[in-house]
Structure 1
Amino acid sequence: MTADRLAALSGRRRELMTRLLAQKAAATAIPPLPRSGAPMECSHEQRRIWLATQATPETAPPNVTLGLTLTGELDPTRLLTALTALVARHETLRTRYTAIDGVPHQLVRPAQPVPLELVDLTALPEPDREPEALSLALAAAGERFDLARGPLLRLTVYRLGPGEHRLFLVCHHIACDGGSLPLLAADLAALYAGAGLTPPPPLQYADYAAWSAGRARERLPGRLPYWRERLAGIEPVFARLPHTAAPGRAGATAAVRVGREVVERLRGEGPVTPFAVLLAAYLVLLRRLSGRDDLVVGTVTSGRGRRELERVAGCFINLVPLRVSVPDAFPALLARVREAVAGALANEIPFDALVSGLGAHRLPGVHPAFQAAFVHRDDPAPPPGWAGPRAGVWAHEVDDGSFDLGLTATPRDAEYELALTGRLARFTPADLAGHARTLAAVLHDA
């Protein structure tokens, strides 16, 4: 019931309705758990990442990264103090992982010092400093973390000159997702500035983990049959790589930009989102590359549908397969995309439970259920203000081949940046550049 409708009720009815709404909220609220130091249940998101990290590192999600430009005086001691306080504020940043009977559990530890590395690049010629900082940062983005020992994040500051720095935060995906980065960036800036923060959130990620695992157990029996029927008989989008192919997850990225007006034109007058338009264009590209018209593409959902989780850092994203039969006509494809998205969201379950429930044979080095992925990001939020230095976005794209081919769509001002990242075992950088141009042409010609 909206606030306006509630206010329109008579005094007695309003009091009763307010009480009923409060009871309903209390019944569905995420309960905070006692902290005894004992191992706590992992969320399905954490379990999926832990298992992938242990068994098939090639299919584990990449680290999460945040890059900022800082212009002005920067105090490293003050920054380290702020970083330590950030880790104390968010339990997920000081959580370690252990297996009990083969099942991962999380252990929340007291705050401890976090690595802060200062890299001075001022000895290099000035034109070389920025490229070198970016090269070092992207290499650091691929560094591995020890889930049992931690810590699971690192912060590096590259000094390019007097009053010119680049800040680069790397965090293991089990502890943080992309949706948590704006929260962590804002808290770090406020702590550096000495601004008074609100008290730590009453809920922490471990509370969400136990609640979400229980909710999943309730939903699985009713929703798993949908996925068994929906994904029956699926075939890989791409042929299996030969044994002689280069191993690992090394990748490359090629990007193009298309105007927002192109996407808006394809949305037309119907209930079509930019997500659906860009996914449809990606499916057309995949049909051309694979020669198949029955395709499965994975996407992500944010998992932050509750208000009490807005200030909680952690990994909330879930992987969702979308199976679409690609017709020749683009409007018909849009309709099928909408139908596939609606069905998938109505029956969403944790991805690890979906894969286990399907009981399909796993192939080494091949991502389960889908090989191609699509991510639609939100408009990048401007960096929060720092006390002293002026902050900006330090743009970077991590070339991580977790999937054979992935498309990331990011709105930037009046355009969309479309970044195709592919495994070098399957695509050359020249291949990806050509495919990116083809993707742009699909949108312009549809």
Structure 2
Amino acid sequence: MTADRLAGLSDRRRELMTRLLAQKAAATAIPALPRSGAPMECSHEQRRIWLATRATPDSAPPNVTLGLAVTGELDLTRLPAALTALVSRHETLRTRYTSVDGLPYQVIRPAQPVPLELTDLTALPEAEREPEALALSLAAAGERFDLERGPLLRLTVYRLGPHEHRLFLVCHHIACDGGSLALVAADLAALYSGAELPPPPSLQYADYAAWSTARARVPERLPYWRDRLAGIEPVFPRVPPTPARPGVTTAVRIGRDVVDRWRDGPVTSFAVLLGAYLVLLRRLSGRDDLVVGTVTTGRGRRELEPVVGCFINLVPLRVTVGDDFPALLTRVREAVAGALANEIPFDTLVSGLGAHRLPGVHPAFQAAFVHRDDPAPPPGWAGLRARVWEHEVDDASFDLGLTATPRGAEYELALTGGPARFTPGDLDRHAQALAAILDP
């Protein structure tokens, strides 16, 4: 009931209705659990990542990265203190993971200093400093973390000059997702600047983990997925597993107006870009019946907005492509609606299907599509000018992935392929073909 409708009631009825609404909110609220130091339940998202990391490290999600370019006199005394305070605010950044009967549990630890490395590149010729910082950050992005011992994040500062630095934060995906990076960036800037922040969120990720696992409606929704994914076949032929290597990425840009040209009624840019990707996959595989995975976020409640953690879930979308692109967009929209209405945690979906896992083949789908938000400008840093220092992690956990990111009046379409299947030249051609599908 809205505030306007409440105001129109008598005092007695308004008091009664307010009490009933408060009771309803309390009944559905996420409860804050006591912290005794004992292991606490992991969320489905954390469990999926933990199991993937232990079983086949190559199929685990890549680390989450945040890059900032800062100009001005960077205080290397304040920065470590701000990083330690950031970890103190968000429990998931100081959580470790332990195995109990073959399943992961999280153990929240007291805040400790976080590794901060300074790499001085000023001995290099000026023109070589930025490319060297990018190359080093690429290597840092792929570093492995020890989930049992931690810490699960580190910050590297690349000095390009006395007033020019690049900050690169790497965090394990089990502790943070892409949607949490804006929170991390804003808090780190405020703590560095000495700004007064509100108290840490009373609700933390471990509370969400216990609440969300109790709410998963698996039994009633699993039949949908058994029917929907019956008889699926891999999009690409299997290739022998190879040692962990970074993927190969290439990107192309296309105007937003080109994407908007295909939008009609309820058709979104997500559907248009996914539709074009499906057409590309059809050409590469020679098949009409395709399954593509995408990500959703469980951060749908107001009390979770300030919480840092991993909220993403993987969802398979099965679509028949065909030759009519507008009709394909309708089928994409229907597939997305059905998947979201029956969403369950991906790890329980895979185990519920009972499919035999093959080495080198991602369960349920081999191709992935991610539609990201327009990157927000970095918040102000005291005495510094800051901007986003872009760094694309080459995720080779899928045979082929498309990441669509708005960049002003354009979309950046980044194709990442497994090195055992695609060469840089292959992906360059596929990226150009993808652009041509949207703008023939």
- The bucket for the TM-score relative to the shorter chain is over 0.9
Q: Which residue is equivalent to 2:247?
A: 251
- Aligned positions of 1:350-369 closer than 5 A: 350-369=345-364
SS at match of 2:395: coil
SS at match of 1:267: coil
Normalised by the size of structure 1, how large is the TM-score? Answer: 0.97
Q: Which residue is equivalent to 2:294?
A: 299
Counterpart Cα distance in 2 of 1:104 and 1:31? 21
Q: Which residue is equivalent to 1:133?
A: 133
Counterpart residue identity of residue 187, structure 1: D
Q: Which residue is equivalent to 2:64?
A: 64
- Aligned positions of 1:44-443 closer than 5 A: 44-216=44-216, 219-241=217-239, 243=240, 246-268=242-264, 270-443=265-438
What displacement does 1:400 show? 2.2
What displacement does 1:2 show? 2.9
8 Å contact from structure 1 (residues 256, 440) kept in 2: yes
What displacement does 1:113 show? 1.1
SS at match of 1:71: strand
8 Å contact from structure 1 (residues 303, 318) kept in 2: yes
CA RMSD of aligned residues (A): 1.0
What displacement does 1:162 show? 1.4
Counterpart Cα distance in 2 of 1:5 and 1:380? 38
Counterpart residue identity of residue 278, structure 2: L
What displacement does 1:246 show? 4.1
Counterpart residue identity of residue 193, structure 1: S
Counterpart residue identity of residue 419, structure 2: L
Q: Among the aligned pairs, what percent are the same residue?
A: 83
Counterpart residue identity of residue 358, structure 1: L
Counterpart residue identity of residue 441, structure 1: A
SS at match of 1:409: strand
Counterpart Cα distance in 1 of 2:99 and 2:75? 40
**Cα shift readout 1:321-373 (whole Å, capped 9, x = no counterpart):** 00001121011101100110000000000000000100000011211100000
> Structure 2: where are the runs of 5+ without partners?
none
SS at match of 1:49: helix
What displacement does 1:247 show? 3.5
Counterpart residue identity of residue 112, structure 1: Q
SS at match of 2:439: helix
SS at match of 2:437: helix
What displacement does 1:14 show? 2.6
8 Å contact from structure 1 (residues 237, 371) kept in 2: yes
More deviation in 172-181 or 248-257?
248-257
Counterpart residue identity of residue 234, structure 1: I
SS at match of 1:96: strand
More deviation in 231-240 or 17-26?
17-26
**Cα shift readout 1:382-441 (whole Å, capped 9, x = no counterpart):** 100001111100011111211000000000000000000001100000000100000000
Counterpart Cα distance in 2 of 1:225 and 1:345? 14
8 Å contact from structure 2 (residues 238, 360) kept in 1: no
SS at match of 1:106: strand
Number of aligned residue pairs: give it.
440
SS at match of 1:234: coil
What displacement does 1:249 show? 4.2
What displacement does 1:6 show? 3.1
**Cα shift readout 1:140-166 (whole Å, capped 9, x = no counterpart):** 000000000000000000000011000
Counterpart Cα distance in 2 of 1:295 and 1:186? 40
Counterpart Cα distance in 1 of 2:306 and 2:202? 9
> Structure 1: where are the runs of 5+ without partners?
none
What displacement does 1:3 show? 3.0
More deviation in 370-379 or 245-254?
245-254
**Cα shift readout 1:240-273 (whole Å, capped 9, x = no counterpart):** 11x3x743342111101110101111003x1111
Q: Which residue is equivalent to 2:4?
A: 4
Counterpart Cα distance in 2 of 1:82 and 1:343? 44
8 Å contact from structure 1 (residues 249, 400) kept in 2: no
Normalised by the size of structure 2, how large is the TM-score? Answer: 0.99
